[in-house]
Every structure is written in C-alpha cells, then in structure tokens.
Amino acid sequence: MRTCNNKAQLQTAVKHCRKEGQTVAFVPTMGNLHQGHLDLVRKARKLCDVVVVSIFVNPLQFGPNEDLDAYPRTMAADKEKLFSEGVNILYAPGVDDIYPEGMDHQTVVSVPDLGDTLCGSSRPGHFDGVTTVVSKLFNIVQPDTAIFGEKDFQQLSIVRKMVEDLCMPITIVGVATTRDRDGLAMSSRNGYLSPEERRIAPLLHQTLNTCREAIACGFDNFLQLESHARMQLLQAGFEPDYFAIRDARTLRAVTDNTEEVAILAAARLGNTRLIDNVRLSLNPVDDWRMLADG
Ligand code: PAF
C-alpha cells in the first residue's frame, strides 16, 4: 500500500495505475476505521482494479461546538487495517493540502433541499462542508466509482444529487449499514459511549424497526408513529433530535407518489449523537420479490 500525504503524490500514483489501464474505486473516510469502513473497501475491491482510501478529518463539516478536536485519530491502526484489506493507495492529506488558502475563502458546493432538512437543520453548514470536501477529493482522485455507507443515508442522497447535478463522471455506490450483533449501526462515534449508554444504544435501531413493521402492516398515521417513537426514545434515555418518516428519494414528506419510505432518526445519548435509518418499499411487487429472494 502506498501512502500519499499530498495531492501531487496521490495524482502521480493514480496516473501510474491509469497508464496500466486500471479502473479506480475511491472510499472517502475520516479514519478511526471500523468494520463498516472495511465493508466499503471490500465492495470497492470487487468493483475496480485499484482501491484508493482517503483519511481526512474535514474541519469544514464540523460546527463550532462539535467534536472536531475530540474526533478520534488512529492513523497507525487504520493503516494496518487498510493494508490487510489490500488497499492500493492511502491518501492522508493535512488540512493545508486540502485548504491551502484556509477555509474562509474556500468555494463552497451546496446541494439545496436535500441538504436543508433532518441533519441539515440541526447541523447548519454540515452538508456544505461534506459536499465541498467530497468534490475536492473527487477532483483530486478522479475515481470511476466512489463508495459510501447507507448509514449516512442523507449524505449518500446528497452526494448522488451533487454528482448528477454537476455531471461528475463518477458512479456512486451505496453499501448497507454494518451493525454490531445487537443492531447498533457501526460508527466511529460509538467509542464515545459509556458502558451504560452502549447498553441502551441499540434501542435506536429497534425503534426504527418497530416503526417499519407498523408501516408494513398498513398503519399509515405517520405523525402518530413518529411521536410514539420519539416518546419511546426519550423514555429510554435518549434526547431525540428527529425521528422522521420520509420519501426515500426526496427526504420530504411521504406522498401518493412515494415508492420507498426512509425512516431516519438522530438522537443524543449523553454527549454522543447517533444516527440511523431503515427503509421500506411501498411497492408490493418489491416486497414479493424480496420474499421470493429469501
Ligand atoms: O462520511 C464521512 O466519513 C465523511 O462525511 C466524508 C464523506 C469522508 C467526508 O468528509
């Protein structure tokens, strides 16, 4: 595995692979890698000849009172994991390489609508920080394919929209959320949880599943389902930020045209903000196909 700490090194390494006619898959991360990231890498390896992973804790996507300084940085352990997974190139730039003129005068890429709701309302500027760094990384790496986790479903939807709107010649692939045995979605922030919080945390996924089952059984009073779920989370010790039943394509309210529903939640447990989501097709043919597929 070759490690590149700046754009020039990275571009030389990628150019070399391109000369050999190899295709390139890219997995952008902020490090502190867990099995969820490694599943993205495995998918990347299946899709392309060369896998590039970036590790960059992007200051532009953190709000002033968020955990930028505390965000876990575990480069040595991350490198070992990527090496074991057969990653070809690690791009681990410093802040100066990505924002050489500082962040105040940086051109910003912003996806409207999808980026304004849910986590976009509670973390103002967060998604502009994500889309700005992801477009910079895409321009630096110039991959054929980029892989993102479905755990950050809103982020994945926003990146897909950005790529479509800006005609970026990159295929975006989403990978199903990797979960611990008790259902908790894997996240670099799970490490902040105390043992007692870790015990409670899987309830977020259980509450999402209960809601999905109610909708699958035909219960269609979504406001009631949302407020019941929020109440359950509160009672369990969470501070819910949102629990929302939305159209999976628009992330707006479900309408008669909705084909797939996304149920998305963000909630604090102590100082840790957890997010998760589940989805449900409203097209009976899809349900039938899923049953037939086992
Ligand atoms: O999902 C993440 O880890 C980050 O938001 C990303 C996509 C690497 C951009 O900094």
Please indicate if the annotation marks 188 as binding a ligand.
yes
pLDDT confidence of residue 292: 63
228 included as an active-site residue: no
Domains of the chain by residue range: 2-175, 188-293
Q: Which residue(s) pair with 273 in the sheet? A: 268
List residues bridging with 262 in a β-sheet: 246, 279
pLDDT at site 283: 79
Distance (Å, whole) CA 270 – CA 133: 29
Please state, as a whole number, how many other Cβ atoms lie within 10 Å of the Cβ of residue 133: 22
156 half-sphere exposure, CB direction, 13 A CA radius: 21
The listed CATH number (3.40.50.620, 3.90.1150.10, 2.40.50.140, 3.30.420.60) that belongs to domain 2-175: 3.40.50.620
CATH of domain 188-293: 3.30.1300.10
> Whose CA is closest to atom 1 on ligand 1?
29
Calculate how far, in angstroms, residue 138's C-alpha sits from the geometric centre of ligand 1: 12
Task: State both tokens at 13.
Answer: 């390494």
Ligand 1 centroid from CA 28, angstroms:
6
Tokens of 136: 């910079």
225 CA to middle of ligand 1, Å? 31
Which element (helix H / strand E) includes 153? Answer: helix 153-165
Instruction: Pick the catalytic residue from 37, 126, 205, 228.
Output: 37
- Local mean pLDDT, 10-residue blocks, the chain (294 residues): 98 97 98 98 98 98 95 97 98 98 96 96 97 98 98 98 98 98 97 97 98 96 98 98 98 96 98 97 69 60
Per-residue model confidence as pLDDT tens digits over 9-35: 999 999 999 999 999 999 999 999 999
Q: Over 159-219, what HEC string results?
A: HHHHHHHCCCCCEEEEECCCECCCCCECCHHHHHCCHHHHHHCCHHHHHHHHHHHHHHCCC
